[in-house]
Amino acid sequence: MASEAIRLDGVEKSFGAVRALAGVDLTVAAGECLGLVGHNGAGKSTLMHVLSGNLTPSAGTLAIAGKPYDRQWTAAAAQAEGVRCVFQELSLCPNLTVAENVRIVHRPLKGLGWKGRARALIRQKLDEIFPNHGISPDDEIADLAIGQRQMAEIARAFTVTDGKLRLVILDEPTSSLDAVSAQQLLAYVKRETARGAAVILISHLLGEILSTADRIVVMKDGKTVADRKASGFTRNSLVAAMGSEAREHKRGAARMAGAEVMVSAQPRSGGTAALEARKGEIVGLTGLAGHGQTRMLLQIYEHRQASMKGALAFIAGDRQSDGVFNLWSIGRNITTRSLAALRKGGLIDLAAEARLAGEWKQRMAIRTPDVNNNILTLSGGNQQKALFARALASDAAIILMDDPMRGVDIGTKQEVYAMIRAEAEKGRTFVWYTTEIEELTHCDRAYVFRDGAIAASLGVDELTEEKMLQASFAEHTA
């Protein structure tokens, strides 16, 4: 086996009563791509924050290249030792240019001509990883599309000034990338590891992990529970190791043809094809990420060039910026969308509010002892369930979903899929933007978006990856 890049022994970390890491041993060899999987709340994020020096563990030791690191392991120390991390929520400064953001992680970039060197560094790396990226080093981050921001941050993590690149941690790096860029990145990871750097890849897309990683570590409840060569896993055995069984979904037959049309809308961003969703239907929006799907949902939400019968509710995918109210309890977060209906004599009926929150905590199986706890006491997946509860508890007949399963663990997903299906059968209409092709199997129909327009409409029998990709890339489609 190749030499050690970094090693953790017996690392523990607690937040109050919650034990996020319960004694983790982890070794990453130089030149290795290590896949890391586990449910939300399994401890992956905490572990990455420890590795990158942003969290000090309660116990345990860390060794660099086989030698114990005896000083304080801080973010600055991690930088100096060539450990980089691309976090799930991006770490770029939106008010700075791409080149200026490179300067932030590279202390040697100073003195006369630093900007020129920074530009050259990032341009070369972007070209290497993502040919045709379309990003200029002088673009301000705020002006870039979300996918381009992710590219810039990933490329930045792989740039080198002084010292060597020891380990790059990629936490859900493809979450905002389209399929092509994602493939480019995964191919680059293989090239980079061949040159001797180590990469830890965290992804909920098990296909990515299985195809890219040399070795896979599975985490559960703050511990590593499996550690094998990637070839020793299959998709099913991986899911089994994480502790939830993969259930096959049975889709009902398409039966909506005669039902009432609840939503009809024509994308303002292009094309002549219009979208329609009928009562009780689950309509998927797909295509490459960032091709107008979210804009379509917002357009419907704002009633712009769209007509609908019934009230709307919106389920955000970006929980932090679009969904959760941080200061409020789980209960209040759930009832926000139903406040008007909870009024009695002009005032909100607190007892009815508590009943509603309690009922939906049950129905969505939100894992908390008390809905009066703050929303942030929940894991990410459970926060997302609360957002689902907010929409489903409301009087909305039409539910718009903006890629709501981003970074949600498989167990939670399965529960929510079943819930969506049940609600659709009761007559609710769902318009569901998803970046995960697998989720299309839960839809009755799907629209493929390209360049802001509807490029194709896929019926129930056509919801395959192949058809979707064809429509996403083809030049001319009906």
Partner 1 sequence: MNRRFLRQALPFLTLAVVLAATFYVQPRTMSYFGLNLMLQYAVPIALATIAQMFVITVNDLDLSIGPFVGLVSCIGATLLFDNPALGVLALLAMIAAYGAVGALIHIRNLPSIVVTLGLSFVWLGIAVLILPSPGGKSPEWLKAIMNVHVPYAPFPIIAAIVIGVVVHLALMLSSYGVIARGAGGNPKALSRAGWSMLKTKVIMYMLAGFFGVLAGLALLGLTTSGDAHVADRYTLYSIAGVILGGGEFIGGRVSPLGAVVGALTLALAGSFLIFLKISPDWQIGAQGAILIIVLALRALVSYGEQKR
Partner 2 sequence: MRAKLLRQPWVYSFGAALAVWLATIAYTHGQGAGAILTAALSFATFTIIVGLGQMMVITTGPGNVDLSIPATITLSGAVAMKVMDEDTGRMAIGIVAALGAATLVGIFNYGLIRILRIPPIIATLSSSFLVLSAAISYGRGIRIKPPEPLAQFAEAQVLGIPIMAIAVLALSVAMAVVLSRTVYGRSVLAVGQNSRAAWLAGLNVGRTRFLTYVLSAFLAGVCGILLSGFSRGAALNMGEEFLLASIATVVIGGTSVAGGRANVPGIWGAALFMYLLVTMLNTFGASAGIRLILTGLMIIGVIVAAGGEEQR
Q: How far is the CB of 105 from partner 1 (least distance, A)?
A: 5
Among 323, 331, 404, 407, binds partner 2 (CB under 8 A): 323
Mark residues 447-466: x for contact with partner 2 by CB under 8 A, - for none: --------------------
Report H helices in 264-349: 293-301, 330-335
Tell me how far apart the alpha carbons of residues 75 and 85 are, in angstroms, rounded to a whole number. Answer: 10
User: Which of 204, 201, 220 lies closest to 212 in space, CA to CA?
Assistant: 201
Q: Tokens in use for 92?
A: 């770029």
Judged by CB under 8 A, the stretch of 51-59, 212-220, 235-243, 324-332 that binds partner 2 is 324-332
Question: What is the closest distance, in whole angstroms, from the C-beta atom of residue 287 to partner 1 in the complex?
Answer: 24
Q: What is the CA radius of gyration of the chain?
A: 23
Residues in the chain: 478
Q: Which of partner 2, partner 1, none does residue 114 bind (CB under 5 to 8 Å by kind)?
A: partner 1
One of 14, 27, 54, 374 touching partner 1 (CB under 8 A) = 54
For the bound state, the minimum distance from the C-beta of residue 48 to partner 2, rounded and expressed in Å, comes to 19
Shortest Å distance, C-beta 74 to partner 1: 7
Is 87 among the residues that bind partner 2 (CB under 8 A)? no
Least Cβ distance, residue 142 to partner 2 (angstroms): 16
Quick check: 348 and 355 in contact, CB under 8 A?
no
Report the alpha-carbon angle 442-448-454, nearest 5: 135
Cα angle, residue 40 at apex, residues 36 and 46 outer, rounded to 5°: 65
Sheet hosting strand 198-202, strand order edge to edge = 83-86, 167-171, 198-202, 33-38, 215-220, 223-229
Tell me if residue 89 falls in helix, strand or coil: coil
* Whole-number Cα distances in Å, 261 to 264, 303, 305, 394: 7, 16, 15, 20
314 binds partner 2 (CB under 8 A): yes
326-365 residues near partner 2, rule: CB under 8 A: 326-328, 332, 336-337, 339-340, 343, 346-348, 350
The nearer residue to partner 1, 75 or 354, going by C-beta atoms, is 75
State in angstroms the smallest separation of the CB of 17 from partner 1: 24
Regarding beta strands 33-38 and 215-220, do their DSSP bridges make them parallel or antiparallel, or are they unpaired? parallel
User: In this chain, which of 177, 316, 392, 410 binds partner 2, going by CB under 8 A?
Assistant: 316
E-strand ranges in 256-308 read 261-265, 275-278, 282-287, 306-308
Which of partner 1, partner 2, none does residue 75 bind to, with CB < 5 to 8 Å depending on kind? Answer: partner 1
Sign for the pseudo-dihedral over CA of 338, 339, 343, 349: positive
254 binds partner 2, rule: CB under 8 A: no
Q: 201: which 2 tokens?
A: 């890849």
Size of the site for partner 1 (CB under 8 A): 28
| CA gap 412, 42 in Å, rounded | 13
- Residue 474 CB, shortest distance to partner 1, in Å, is 29
Element (H, E) at 60: strand 59-64
72 near partner 2, rule: CB under 8 A = no
Q: Please say which residue, 396 or 437, places its beta carbon nearer to partner 2.
A: 396
d(CA 70, CA 72): 7
Comparing CB distances to partner 2, the nearer of 97 and 434 is: 434
Instruction: Return the one option of partner 1, partner 2, none that residue 417 interacts with (CB less than 5 to 8 A, by type).
Output: none
Cα 103 to Cα 119: distance, rounded to the nearest angstrom: 9
* Binders in 88-117 for partner 1, by CB under 8 A: 91-96, 100-101, 103-105, 109-111, 114-115
**Residues found near partner 2 in the complex (CB under 8 A):** 301, 312-314, 316, 321-328, 332, 336-337, 339-340, 343, 346-348, 350, 390, 394
**Residues found near partner 1 in the complex (CB under 8 A):** 52-54, 74-80, 85, 87, 91-96, 100-101, 103-105, 109-111, 114-115
